[in-house]
Amino acid sequence: MLAASLASLDDLWRAVDELRAGRSTPPTSAFYESKLAKVWDRARGTVAYRNLGAYSPAAFAALPVTPRDALKRRPWDYLAVGIDQAVKYYETTGTSGTVTPTPRTIEDIVWNTVSVAEGWSELVGPGDRVLVLLPSDLVPVADLVVGVCEYRGVPHARAYPFATGITDWDRLIGVFRSFRPTVLFVAPGVAVQLTRLAKQRGQLDDVRSSVRSLMLLGEVSTAPMRDRLGSWWNARCYDASYGSTETGTLATSCVEGSLHLLTAANYFELRTETTVTPLLDQAGSGSLVVTPLNLYARPLLRFDTGDRVVVGQGCPCGRATPTVLVEGRTTDTITLRGAVLTPRAVEEVVYGVTTATGYLIEIDAAGDYGRLLLERDVDADRSSEAAQAAAVQAATEQRWGVHWDSVLFVNALPITTKSGGSQKSWKRSNVQVVELVP
């Protein structure tokens, strides 16, 4: 995050003052009215929103939500600036198979970085050394972590082991020995693969010796998975943040491990089958609708994220901002004999009742057949696998009322189940559609 002009520095200090205050004190209605009016005006400079009239609370409430599919179909219509006015160019990973171009201005970067840095203020700070094991080509997540480290003055390094180039697994082990990181930013699948490799080489004790926390990004992160990784690394494991390339960061973790919505940087609403209501002081569940308050290159109004969430109030950490549990993208489900399986629910079963280090679902196109492959740990006791498979079947029966056709342990799974944020979606990484042979 480089502020190369007085205007950029002014943006930085305004962001610090505004977002630091919003971390502990919920925004007022007057704050939202002022910020929403500015977003509305920026949005009127786009093709998608050019027919908007003057801003008013009533006009905002009457505006239809912006579907994610509409943005994906016509991404350039939502841009308020040209590419030459941006300082960075990103693309989404393409959950639906197509990517969404996402240029960002210095204002976009400054406001999002400060918002996240303030959200992580108790998790990353003086005395830390951060190792970023995340992809950085075309996606913003690694740049964001680096920006937070620069803002907080924390030493950091990037080393994504799945990119073809300088960093491979041997080089990564060497970085642990020389840099001695205290905090890892990593996708769960990457963390699992690194753990397996270090175990096989008898190096895990050395590699984890300096690490105190793992900040998970890029995939669904369930409590059983975090507990598993935390026990392997003798460290605290956090669900670090939630957001998207299109919107920026929407929530960050606290010291208690809860995700808190960044209410000073976003205006949130919940969409149910019948209504869209402001998310102020109430708890509830539905699809999250967001108006990011500090997007400049591509302002979005009432954007339906497509993510089902459960919003709560009150956290032992003391923050006044709502907590959020992300159940997953509404399209990231599979149907097995009429039962709808979500990523979070599947992983709660896999990592809750087995010692597996990964999984792959094989399912036919009709959803009448389903096999679950579990990756055995490198030091697993194979004599317990039959009992673990039975536990999976029992948990599946209890939760969904269906059985897997089989549950099998294998020595290793395809690399697509490991490389985390570089993959397109849960269904592309952990689900394989198979054709049954008569």
Q: Does the structure show a pLDDT above 80 at 292? A: yes
Cα 305 to Cα 271: distance, rounded to the nearest angstrom:
10
Rounded to an integer, what distance in angstroms lies between the CA atom of residue 102 and that of residue 297?
A: 8
**421 pLDDT band (50/70/90 cuts)?**
very low
User: If pLDDT is split at 50, 70 and 90, which confidence band does 62 have?
Assistant: very high
With a cut of 70, say whether residue 343 has pLDDT above it: yes
How far is Cα 328 from Cα 347, in angstroms, rounded to an integer?
A: 12
pLDDT in tens, 167-214: 889 999 999 999 999 999 998 889 999 999 999 999 999 999 999 999
3-state secondary structure of 292: strand
pLDDT on residue 423: 47
- Alpha-carbon distances, residue 141 vs 62, 119, 138, 144 (angstroms): 34, 15, 9, 5
Query: Measured between alpha carbons, how far is 338 from 331 in angstroms, rounded to an integer?
Result: 16
179-183, 344-348, 405-409: the lowest-pLDDT one: 344-348
Q: Which residues pair with 360 in a beta bridge?
A: 373
DSSP letters for 334-367: EEETTEEE-HHHHHHHHHHH---SEEEEEEETTS
Q: Give CA–CA dist 223/2, Å, rounded.
A: 36
Task: Tell me which residue of 110, 93, 109, 92 sits closest to 101, measured CA to CA.
Answer: 92
Q: Pseudo-torsion of CA 90, 418, 115, 306, nearest 10°?
A: 70
Whether the predicted pLDDT of 93 surpasses 90? no
Comparing CA positions, the residue from 180, 191, 204 lying closest to residue 127 is 180
- The percent of residues in the chain predicted with pLDDT above 90, rounded, is 71
Q: How far apart are CA 22 and CA 32, in angstroms?
A: 12
Q: Give the residue from 223, 249, 250 showing the smallest Cα distance to 236.
A: 223
- Which of 162, 227, 156, 149 is CA-nearest to residue 190? 162
Most confident of 147-151, 275-279, 414-418: 147-151
* Domains of the chain and CATH, by start: 1-122+252-324 (3.40.50.12780), 124-239 (3.40.50.980), 334-434 (3.30.300.30)
Q: Which residues contact 422 (CB under 8 A, 6 or more apart)?
A: 93, 135, 139, 160, 162, 163
The distance of Cα 153 from the centroid of its chain, to the nearest Å, equals 24
Local confidence band at 7 (pLDDT 50, 70, 90 cut-offs):
low
Instruction: Band the pLDDT of 370: cuts 50, 70, 90.
Output: very high
Of 8-17, 172-181, 221-230, the one with minimum mean pLDDT is 8-17
Which of 15, 218, 14 is closest to 115 using CA atoms?
Answer: 15
Contact criterion met (CB below 8 Å) for 131 and 157: yes
Of 2-16, 119-133, 367-381, the range with the lowest mean pLDDT is: 2-16
Distance (Å, rounded) from C-alpha 53 to C-alpha 216?
A: 42
- Tokens in use for 428? 């592309």
From CA 304, how far away is CA 65, in angstroms rounded? 6
Residue 6, pLDDT above cutoff 70: no
Q: Where are the beta strands (DSSP E) in 240-322?
A: 241-244, 248-253, 259-261, 266-271, 276-278, 284-292, 303-312
Give the pLDDT confidence score for residue 23 in this predicted structure: 72
Task: Tell me the one-letter amino acid at 86.
Answer: A
Rounded CA-CA distance 322/261 in Å is 6
Lowest mean pLDDT segment, chosen from 7-11, 76-80, 179-183, 293-297: 7-11
Confidence tier at 97 by pLDDT (50, 70, 90): low
Kindly indicate the confidence band of residue 226, based on its pLDDT and cuts at 50, 70 and 90: very high
Band of pLDDT at residue 419, cut at 50, 70 and 90: low
> What does the pLDDT average to over 222-247?
94
The residue assigned the tokens 């969430």 is 309
Mean pLDDT of the chain: 90
Q: What average pLDDT does range 126-147 have in this prediction?
A: 93
